[in-house]
Structure formats: C-alpha cells, structure tokens
Chains A and B, each alone.
Chain A
Amino acid sequence: MGEVITFWVPWTLIMLALAVLFWPGRGLFWRQRRSKEERERIQVEDALKYLYFCEREQRRPTVAGIAGRMQVSENRAAHISQELQEMGFAVMQGDVIKLTGDGRAYALHIVRAHRLWERHLADETGYAEREWHARAEQAEHSLTPEEADALAARLRNPLRDPHGDPIPTATGEMVNEHGQLVTALEPGRSGRILHLEDEPEGLYAQLVAEGFYPGMIIEMVDQSSDRVRVWADGNEVVLAPLTASLISVQPMSMREELIVEGAETLADLEPPEMGRIISLSPRCRGVERRRFLDLGFVPGTEIAAEMISPGGEPTAYRVRDTLIALRKNQAGMILVERVEG
C-alpha cells in the first residue's frame, strides 16, 4: 500500500488545489482578478446603459428603477446615481434621472461595444448563440473606443448586430431604428408598423383616421408614382405616396410570414424531390451564411435533393450543376417551396 500513499495522495492533492485556484470563472484566481474599482466602473456603465434605454423607450428612469434593473439594493443604486452626477453623466430632475450629453455619448459607446462584440462573436467565432449576450456583457466594459473602432473596421462596419439591433457609429448615429419605409416593401411582402411619423400633422391625422396604428400588420399590394395600395386588417387602403412615407415598418422575414402558411425547409425534401429557395433563415449567420451565398444558395435558385449518406446525414443537393452536401441542421435553415421535377 505504500505506493498508493506516496503517489496517489500527493497527486490528488495537487489536482484539487489547482482546481480550487483556476476553475474557469469561479476559481480564486479569476475572482481576485476583478478588482474593486473595476466592479464599481462596470456598475456605473450598466447604469448608464439603463438610463439610455429608458430615454429611447420614453420611460422614466429612477433610482428604484436602477435598483430593480441591476439587482442591487436601493442604497447601492442611490450611491451609483450620486456617482453618475458627480462624474457629470447625469442630473436629477425631481426623482427622475436624466442623461447629460457626455453621459449619452458614454452610454452609446457601451451599446456600440456590446453590439459590435456580438457581431464579432456571430461572424468570427464559433460560440453558440446563447453565449453571445453574456460574453458581450463582459466585453463591453473592456473595449476602449479605439478598440471598438478597429473592431468595426475589421467587421466591415456592420450596421446591425446579429439580433437586428442597430449598431451606433463612432459619432452616435445609427441606421434608422424605425424599420424601413412601407414604400420599400416589395409587392406581396408584409411588415409590422413600428412608427407613424407625426409630421406633417394633416397627413398624420389622415393615417390615424384610416385606422393605422403601431403594431398593425400591413401587406404591400402594389405602388405607382401616384398611389400606394396596401392591405391593412383585411381592408384595401389606397394612400398617396407622401402619406404612405410616414409609415415605417419592420419587414417580416419570409420565415415569419411562412410559419403561418407552413413553409418547408430543404431538410423536408427527400431525393429525388426538387424545390426552389425562398430565403435563408435569419438563424443562419456569419461565416455560414456567407458560405451559402457563395455556393449559390440564393432566393430563386432551383435545388434538387440527390442522395442521402448511408450514415443518415448529410444529404447531397444539386445546386447550379454542383453537388453540395449539407447536414440536417443546415438544410433546415433554407426555406424552400416544392417544384415538380
């Protein structure tokens, strides 16, 4: 038994000690690495982000709100708000906290860093989607504005993060968050109304009178230079182009539209069935999406299931005269309609 004692016991102890010290995220080493000041700064930045979102969504940010959002005590929240004011990032108006210009710029940087980092995770790494947000929550506090700029350049200045939220530019501008103009919808496509512009007043009143409201789903019928016809809640409405241009919509993805109609994906085709590509699912992102586009998986393309691997997957599809094998989960991201062979 001597050997057991001389060899097993020390080894086990060494392993245990290493685990306690370096266990990812929880080991003493990692805990120690986050110093107190850093924790403080992160809380300030999180509070700024909260204030910024309140402002955008036109809610009233309060100390209690900070406490609720950040899951800290009211005392702590009051302390943070005090600090924000001392730093010149916010001012109190009654019990409402308001961002200053500096505060808004700082908040925008944090939002920019967060969304850029998510874009980076989606496009340049293999981390699973469920990890993106948590990782970006960490990264947003460590990216400097210069690093964020360099990252943006490397990512080819993306306009939106992988969830579709706009990424502010270095100067705080961003792509129209109110979706797109209804006139940009192609005939037959639908969108959900995000925003009705309230100026000029007369035209806005006309829209309200016609029964348009944010959240309503409308479908483009057709448009010409002097009128725009849309379906809205089962009625056909004809608008002047100028009036229609007050409506911004979030276009519904083909997927959203087709879920209602029960669309099929490429994975539903069995050899030798054929289909035509309708769209790539928004779940298909980054490198994978670019690869699909490169290989010619673009809407309108005819595609035929050709053979299944004896292992069960992948399946080979003929696309533009080339055989390309895709796994099931990939084929499931390509929406198709059947075509008779």
Chain B
Amino acid sequence: MDTVTVEPIEPGRMAAGCESCAAHNAANLRRLGVDMSDWDYVVALAGNPNVGKSTVFNALTGLRQHTGNWPGKTVTRAEGGFEYGDARFKLVDLPGAYSLLATSLDEEVARDFILFGQPDVTIVVVDASRLERNLNLALQVLEITDRVVVCLNLIDEAKRHGLTIDERHLARRLGVPVVPTAARTRQGLDELLQTVSDVATGKIICKPHRARHESPDLKAAADEVEADLHRLYPNLPNARWVALRLLDGDEAIIQAMQRGELGDLTRSAPDSEAVNVIRLEAAPA
C-alpha cells in the first residue's frame, strides 16, 4: 500500500511479544461499556462537531446514523464494526468536541475513553477546510495517545474553496499518518482502513508531536511532577500530560490515581523483531 505519510523505515523491529498486538485496555473498556469479546481491535473516532465524523462512521461501518448539519449532534455514543484483513475492528464514535480539557460532559466522555480505554487506534477526523480549528483537538489527542490516524476529511470541500493541503508535511509535523478523505463519496476510505489496520497491528509506529509553550513557573512544576510520575509508573505513556492535568486540579485524573487506575495504563514500548515497521516521527517545525 502506498501510505501517504510514510517516512523512512527502520527495518527489523516490531512490537514486543505480541501476537495480535492489541493494545487496548480490555478491563477499562468493559467499565466504559464496551464489550471486546468478539473483536480484535477497538478504534475510537474523535473529531470536532460538524466535520463529517458521522459520515466517516457510517461509511466505515455501513450503518446509517443520521446527524444533521448542526454542531454537536451526536449526543449518545454510537458503536459499530468492520472487518479488514483478517481482523475485526470495533468502531466507537465519540461525542464531537472542540477540546479534550474536559470542561463539558461530551469532552469528558471523549477524553476518558481515549485515556482509560486505550483504543488501539484513535481516528481524529479533521475538516480540511478549517484545519487550524480542528488541529487544536488533534494536538490534544496526540498528548494522550500516540496511536493516532488523522483523517483529513472534506478534502473535496477544501478543494472547492481553493485550498491545497500538503498532507505529507502535515504528517511530518504531527508525527502520525494523515489520510485525505471525502467520506461522502467514499474517496480515500480504503487508504484509511489500511492505515488504521497498520497502526493497530504495529506496522506503523507513531511518534507524535508534543511540543508546548509553558511559562518557566509551570515548566518547573510540571517537570517535578512528571519526574515523580515516571518513578511511580515507569511505563506511563503520557506522563507529561498527566502531570499538567494534576497541576490543573483535574478531579477525574486525581481520582483515577487514587484508585490506582493510572498504574494500569502502562504499556510496554513496542520494540522487538518484525519486518516492515514504519516509524513516524514528528519533524521539528
């Protein structure tokens, strides 16, 4: 497959001792109401309101869930599934949100699912014609999980408005695969499925962009907490983000830590022998 985004390959390495390579957290998923017994991988679908997220969902699952041309229409969480290659993927449609700072219920639902469910892949649907606004959410998703595929949707609409988007450069800046699609006409969906499957099976390993402007005060405090978190949970994949949430007084994270749930989120770094691993790494600006 000709992935749009692929950077040079570092051969001979693959996820550690995993046959199926599923990385999701089945216990937490069950608590979140997702039964994984018939599925190999779980894929979360995130995105701003009104970016055609439901169209992508319907196109991938063959379901028909209607949502109108309104911001924030998906009120309940929809689930569906699809098969690709030999694997069965469960697709969970998260509520549309502008950010993941958990200031509203929708945002909290989306955030908790990505954080605690540890989906094998999170597809972030972004509106190609309003990239700046949409990247805001994508960047926040990248803080929490590195298994992300950006679905650059409504690419036809962007073209109609005369916009051209350098998706290869975008993938380099973000450090994750970017697939341009026009879900309404099913354009690009095969590539999307292929890329999702590659990330799920560990053929593509992402190393996302995580840069931040922090005031010196904040940076010092965050460094301190992050160092503690690293000592406490050496494998926590998103310690910096957790540190900042704690400094922001985020009660959901504080309680998760008191209950010891944060400790469950450790994940062994994918590195061992395998063929064809594609490594994506965020390039500096």
Do B130 and A322 touch across chains, with their CB atoms under 8 A apart? yes
Do A320 and B251 touch across chains, with their CB atoms under 8 A apart? no
Do B132 and A156 touch across chains, with their CB atoms under 8 A apart? no
**Which residues of the other chain, A, contact B248 by a CB distance below 8 angstroms?**
156
Q: Which of B148-192 contact A (CB under 8 A)?
A: none
Complex formed: what's the CA distance from A304 to B131 in Å?
A: 18
Do A321 and B133 touch across chains, with their CB atoms under 8 A apart? yes
Q: Measured between C-beta atoms, what is the minimum distance from B135 to chain A in Å?
A: 10
Do B132 and A290 touch across chains, with their CB atoms under 8 A apart? no
Do A156 and B251 touch across chains, with their CB atoms under 8 A apart? yes
Name which of B14-22, B97-105, B109-117, B260-268 contacts chain A.
B97-105
Task: For the complex, count residues of B whose C-beta is within 8 A of A.
Answer: 18
Task: For the complex, count residues of A whose C-beta is within 8 A of B.
Answer: 15
Which residue from chain B places its CB closest to the CB of A290 in the assembled complex?
Answer: B103
Q: Measured between C-beta atoms, what is the minimum distance from A269 to chain B in Å?
A: 20
Total CB contacts across the A-B interface at under 8 A:
37
Q: Measured between C-beta atoms, what is the minimum distance from A27 to chain B in Å?
A: 37
Do A294 and B103 touch across chains, with their CB atoms under 8 A apart? yes
Q: Which of B133, B217, B249 contacts A322 (CB 8 A)?
A: B133
The winner among A153, A290, A320, A321 for most chain B CB atoms within 10 A is A321
Cβ of A157 < 8 Å from any Cβ of B?
yes
Do A294 and B99 touch across chains, with their CB atoms under 8 A apart? yes
- Taken residue by residue from 34 to 51, chain A's Cβ proximity to chain B (1 for < 8 Å, 0 otherwise) reads as 000000000000000000
**Which residues of the other chain, B, contact A157 by a CB distance below 8 angstroms?**
249, 251, 254
Cβ of A295 < 8 Å from any Cβ of B?
yes
- Taken residue by residue from 294 to 305, chain A's Cβ proximity to chain B (1 for < 8 Å, 0 otherwise) reads as 111000000000
**Which residues of the other chain, B, contact A294 by a CB distance below 8 angstroms?**
98-99, 103-104
Do B130 and A156 touch across chains, with their CB atoms under 8 A apart? no
Q: Which of A288-336 contact B (CB under 8 A)?
A: 290, 293-296, 320-322
Do A153 and B251 touch across chains, with their CB atoms under 8 A apart? yes
Cβ of A184 < 8 Å from any Cβ of B?
yes
Q: Which of A135-173 contact B (CB under 8 A)?
A: 153-154, 156-159
Do B133 and A320 touch across chains, with their CB atoms under 8 A apart? yes
**Which residues of the other chain, B, contact A296 by a CB distance below 8 angstroms?**
98, 132-133, 136
Do B98 and A156 touch across chains, with their CB atoms under 8 A apart? no
Q: Which of A182-196 contact B (CB under 8 A)?
A: 184
A184-B217, A294-B99 known; A158+B249 contact, CB < 8 A: yes
Q: Which of A153, A158, A159, A320 contacts B132 (CB 8 A)?
A: A320
The winner among A153, A156, A293 for most chain B CB atoms within 10 A is A156
**Which residues of the other chain, B, contact A295 by a CB distance below 8 angstroms?**
98
Which residue from chain A places its CB closest to the CB of B97 in the assembled complex?
Answer: A294
Complex formed: what's the CA distance from A322 to B215 in Å?
A: 30
- Taken residue by residue from 246 to 274, chain B's Cβ proximity to chain A (1 for < 8 Å, 0 otherwise) reads as 00111100110000000000000000000
Do A321 and B132 touch across chains, with their CB atoms under 8 A apart? yes
Which residue from chain B places its CB closest to the CB of A181 in the assembled complex?
Answer: B217
Do A321 and B103 touch across chains, with their CB atoms under 8 A apart? no
**Which residues of the other chain, A, contact B249 by a CB distance below 8 angstroms?**
156-159
Cβ of B74 < 8 Å from any Cβ of A?
no
- Taken residue by residue from 257 to 299, chain A's Cβ proximity to chain B (1 for < 8 Å, 0 otherwise) reads as 0000000000000000000000000000000001001111000
**Which residues of the other chain, A, contact B129 by a CB distance below 8 angstroms?**
321
Do B251 and A290 touch across chains, with their CB atoms under 8 A apart? no
Complex formed: what's the CA distance from A159 to B248 in Å?
A: 10
Complex formed: what's the CA distance from A266 to B79 in Å?
A: 42
**Which residues of the other chain, A, contact B217 by a CB distance below 8 angstroms?**
184
Complex formed: what's the CA distance from A245 to B72 in Å?
A: 47
Q: Which of B29-45 contact A (CB under 8 A)?
A: none
Which residue from chain A places its CB closest to the CB of B216 in the assembled complex?
Answer: A184
Q: Measured between C-beta atoms, what is the minimum distance from B22 to chain A in Å?
A: 33
**Which residues of the other chain, A, contact B103 by a CB distance below 8 angstroms?**
290, 294
Q: Measured between C-beta atoms, what is the minimum distance from B94 to chain A in Å?
A: 16
B residues whose Cβ falls under 8 Å from a Cβ of A? 98-99, 103-104, 129-133, 136, 215, 217, 248-251, 254-255
A residues whose Cβ falls under 8 Å from a Cβ of B? 153-154, 156-159, 184, 290, 293-296, 320-322
Top 7 closest A-B pairs, CB basis? A157-B249, A294-B98, A321-B130, A320-B133, A290-B103, A153-B251, A320-B132
Could you list 10 examples of A-B contacts with CB < 8 Å? A153-B254, A153-B255, A156-B249, A156-B251, A157-B249, A159-B249, A294-B98, A295-B98, A320-B132, A321-B131
